Chains A and B, each alone.
Chain A
């Protein structure tokens, strides 16, 4: 199968994630959409790695997974903290500083 199809899939997943970040209201769901975007990047890395016949892309995919895990740690801590003080994880409610 032509590996380029996987690139189209990666672009599609990335777009779905980006649209989700812009549309969804719940901070957790927004964050999951960011993770979807990171995984779309991983798919693109692995596909390009296969196309070029070198292993750089696969190694980068591992690094991306570690970074995504670290981001989950910090992100969930922040989101849980704001949920505990406001009893809501909606990004629309967090508007104390609107101009």
Chain B
């Protein structure tokens, strides 16, 4: 048996005196966005360990903002250096792709992270506890809610400044996820960005039981789905004998570089390929929040601290759709006649269920969660197109959608009553009479979600549906337009509720935020309107960035 001899050869080689182990060749400059973010996250951990409590907040905030801005500058530098187009290649011994889609999505994730940091750092919304300004995060997450330990921590004015390095670790994983060029890197990146998110979900200052419950649900279901993803990776590895994207793609298309006896046996076994591919897709669709795997979304979005929800809703979607695009367009294009019908079904069900179930929601955060599910369906329509336009429209949609989401959740943090954020929809009645500016801003975000012209939502939806129709998915576009109409109903209903009903006397008040949240919301509005009114520059940018390297 030849394979056994191969393995024994490996063992005996290793036992001989080793002359020289060649060091791996890493292109540090091309990986700099990720390296900067992860490096500063490590510095943030040291800051937590060695700096006095009083100065930690300011140092952490400064470090985080600088890291994200520097990372974004590095992405822009790489794109200007031509890595988005002609010089695109696979770096770090085949582990990471440096190409247009990767750089575009990394830039988007870094900008989203930068805006999210502003909402994380907001300290004027909650009333000061014992003379200390507090943010949305628990005074001491380890102390049980309502215990003496918690009261002591609140009295001492503790805040969880660890959220900043945790956020940076999550962003670091997200930067790798859409650029991963082998299945091992994909899995590690998934865990690196998921584990910090589980922790962040558990850290709310108010309604801590809800927050902890959402963390448990997210963690158990997330770990379950990543186990499926890993088994899918194992089966694909068994099928192709390699985990690199290009290697698997070659075997799927029936032209591997060299065939040995074992590969000839497993290559013919489509069961490994189909089940492996399906399990891998399940893991990614879970992160995206597509319908058979969407059950965690409303609970986690409702329970998590609202700044975290906004970040998660925007950045996780960008990263996960980036990985999904690369997987379907680079690894499995040879299999597209098998995955396209499945993804058709998933997209249709996702759009319809997201839009219809959202109508029955009474909580703003759950409403936005179901709306995010419907939007995942719209983006999937662009993914299915399997054309160049499909890639660029998905990239543009992700950019547009993430800023609308961030802005909408930032507005949710402002509407408060005695118990913290007032997320029940009935409390939002008449908000337009009491604080017209906040209600108008929220209305802009809702109109963008609904896809009304002159907002980024319209430009994004138009691009995605156009690509899908040209890619031969006409019926999908019809379903998409119908579910957009259903979704528009409940967005408009919230606007009517805010502007055309009487405010209740005991209703919530709108807190005046610090410049941090104001900047976040203003950026959200600005991006929404700019992408809606003059989308052409950004569509061209996405178009230039829409070629995967293999």
Contact = CB atoms under 8 A, between A and B. Distances in A.
Given A57-B237, A67-B191, A71-B191, A21 B224 contact: yes
A16 interface: no
Interface string A76-98: 01110110111000010011110
Contacts of B220: 21, 27, 30-31, 34, 75, 91
Interface residues of A, number: 49
B238 A56 contact: no
Interface in A23-38: 27, 30-31, 34, 37-38
B297 to A, nearest CB: 12
Interface residues of chain B: helix, strand, loop or mixed (majority) = helix
B299 A97 contact: yes
A44 B212 contact: no
B160 to A, nearest CB: 13
B331 to A, nearest CB: 16
A31 B216 CA distance: 10
Contacts of B145: 85
A85 B219 CA distance: 17
Contacts of B290: none
B227 A34 contact: yes
Given A53-B262, A64-B230, A71-B195, A94 B238 contact: no
Nearest to A84: B144
Interface of A: 7, 10, 14, 17-18, 21, 27, 30-31, 34, 37-38, 40-41, 44-45, 47-48, 50-57, 59-60, 63-64, 67, 70-71, 74-75, 77-79, 81-82, 84-86, 91, 94-97, 99
17 contacts: A7-B238, A31-B223, A41-B231, A41-B234, A48-B241, A52-B266, A54-B6, A54-B241, A60-B243, A67-B187, A67-B188, A78-B202, A82-B212, A85-B209, A91-B220, A96-B210, A99-B298
Interface of B: 2-4, 6-7, 10, 141-142, 144-146, 184, 187-188, 191, 195, 198-199, 202, 208-210, 212-217, 219-220, 223-224, 227-228, 230-231, 233-235, 237-238, 241-243, 260, 262-263, 265-266, 298-299, 302-303, 366
